[in-house]
Amino acid sequence: MEVRVENGGSCEVGKSGWGQSLPVPSIQEIVRSDFQSVPQRYIHENKGGPIISEDLADSLEIPVIDFSFLAKGDEDEVQKLHLACKDWGFFQVINHGVKEEILEKMKAAVAAFFELPFQEKKKYAKAENEIEGYGQNFVVSEHQKLDWSDMIFLFTFPSQNRNFKFWPLSLPGFKEALEEYSREMQKLAEELQANFSVLMGLKRDGLKRLQGGELKQGIRMNYYPICSRPDLVLGISPHSDGTSFTLLLQDDDVTGLQIKHNEAWVPVKPIPNSLIVNIGDATEIQSNGMYKSIEHRAVTNEKKPRISIATFMFPDDEQEIGPVETMIDDQNRPKLYRNIKYVDYVREKFSRKMEGKAHTQFAKLRATSDH
């Protein structure tokens, strides 16, 4: 069925510097229009893998890490973190010290952005060759299945990387909320990175020193409108994050995130005011495969739209990433990944995606040594 969207509800998707871009309609606009059935391009026939029911998932909840213990250097909590990263690649963080008010302000700012009229949001649209701005997921072919979500992505740290032409500055409170929130995420990320360093046999500042400074930060705000047939569509298709790690804030009352665990999709039930952390590809590589960058996806629902805010922490483009020496043992843990400059890693990950290959398995495909 041809869907006509009023006000030209489509947006040029950024090329991200790695390939063609195609105009894709805003799903929010499609939902607002009077559409009759789910457009074919959004129907994912094979969603892959069984889903663990929500009841069963209760007994299979992802690990919960108490950040206040971690920050005190509590040995048991550090051990829990190790197991969480190794067995799940995902965990929820409670007692993280970020004021509830800051989280709520951030969620409200994102909701207010997506409530703006399409013509207004379009002012912040991704441009060609840019990864930043408002748009839809990375689209490279007419035949590619589309996700049931719109998003805006902004670089937030270091602060000189902020590109305000993509920030909705006329939206009251947005800039303040994002600045405050991103500062808090940077602090949390620093403590997490220090813990990952220790777990990898380095000093607390080991990973930071390796990359010659703080991790970079970009925030992706996702909006998943309701869908009359959530069984047919995906909010975000399965992927792993090409980050060092990601901190996710989401609506407290709508379950949407699912993670791959033992070949099944496990829904992650949000704990109010907590944050979800997942290991990204760069940490999987640096830990020489000890910690896992897990495939995840988001589903939609019939009753409530959902917002999620993903804070991506990632190395500098020029940093070479590879297994750290302390994680390699020629006898028991030989080097599983070859070293690669981060920017080249990201490029290869996306070019695999463009070729329709399983980019999510990319980190594992690098399982060859330098020589």
Ligand X SMILES: O=C(O)CCC(=O)C(=O)O
**Can you give the binding site for Fe ion, defined by CB under 5 A?**
241
Give strand ranges (E) for 201-350.
Answer: 216-224, 236-239, 245-250, 257-261, 264-267, 275-279, 296-298, 306-314, 320-321, 340-341
Q: How far is the CB of 290 from ligand X (least distance, A)?
A: 22
- Among positions 29, 130, 241, 284, the unique one binding ligand X when judged by CB under 6 A: 241
Residue number with CB closer to Fe ion (241 or 251): 241
- Among positions 21, 308, 311, 319, the unique one binding ligand X when judged by CB under 6 A: 308
Asked if 256 interacts with ligand X (CB under 6 A), we say yes
Torsion of CA 103, 104, 107, 112, to 10 degrees: -140
Residue number with CB closer to ligand X (197 or 360): 360
From the list Fe ion, ligand X, none, partner contacted by residue 308 (C-beta under 5 to 8 A by kind): ligand X
Residue number with CB closer to Fe ion (109 or 257): 257
H-helix or E-strand spanning residue 93: strand 90-94
Largest Cα span, the chain: 63
Under rule CB under 6 A, which residues in 161-220 are in contact with ligand X?
220
Task: Report d(CA 108, CA 113) in Å as an integer.
Answer: 9
Whether 267 contacts 57, CB under 8 Å: yes
From the list ligand X, Fe ion, none, partner contacted by residue 298 (C-beta under 5 to 8 A by kind): ligand X
Cα distance between the two ends of the chain: 53
Task: Report d(CA 126, CA 152) in Å as an integer.
Answer: 8
- Other CB atoms within 10 Å distance of the CB of residue 7: 13
Q: How far is the CB of 306 from ligand X (least distance, A)?
A: 7
Q: How far is the CB of 209 from ligand X (least distance, A)?
A: 28
From the list ligand X, Fe ion, none, partner contacted by residue 284 (C-beta under 5 to 8 A by kind): none
Asked if 250 interacts with ligand X (CB under 6 A), we say yes
Q: How far is the CB of 203 from Fe ion (least distance, A)?
A: 30
Asked if 296 interacts with ligand X (CB under 6 A), we say yes
Q: How far is the CB of 6 from ligand X (least distance, A)?
A: 27
Residue number with CB closer to Fe ion (3 or 249): 249
Q: Which of 230, 312, 282 is nearest to 38 (CA)?
A: 230
From the list ligand X, Fe ion, none, partner contacted by residue 335 (C-beta under 5 to 8 A by kind): none
Asked if 283 interacts with ligand X (CB under 6 A), we say no
Q: Site map for ligand X, 7-46, x if CB under 6 A?
A: ----------------------------------------
- Among positions 222, 286, 293, 300, the unique one binding ligand X when judged by CB under 6 A: 222
Q: Which stretch binds ligand X (CB under 6 A): 3-11, 249-257, 315-323, 340-348?
A: 249-257
Q: How far is the CB of 102 from ligand X (least distance, A)?
A: 19
From the list ligand X, Fe ion, none, partner contacted by residue 222 (C-beta under 5 to 8 A by kind): ligand X
Residue number with CB closer to Fe ion (130 or 241): 241
- Other CB atoms within 10 Å distance of the CB of residue 324: 18
Residue number with CB closer to Fe ion (149 or 286): 149
Dihedral over Cα of 302, 260, 136, 45: its sign: negative
From residue 14, alpha-carbon distances to 93, 184, 290 in Å are 33, 28, 34
- Among positions 13, 178, 215, 236, the unique one binding ligand X when judged by CB under 6 A: 236
From residue 294, alpha-carbon distances to 8, 35, 52, 164, 281 in Å are 37, 35, 16, 32, 9
Q: Which of 310, 306, 336, 313 is nearest to 114 (CA)?
A: 306
Task: Report d(CA 178, CA 153) in Å as an integer.
Answer: 12
Q: How far is the CB of 52 from Fe ion (least distance, A)?
A: 19
Whether 298 contacts 238, CB under 8 Å: no
Q: Which of 308, 328, 93 is nearest to 189 (CA)?
A: 93
Q: Can you give the binding site for ligand X, defined by CB under 6 A? A: 220, 222, 236, 241, 248, 250, 256-257, 296, 298, 308, 310
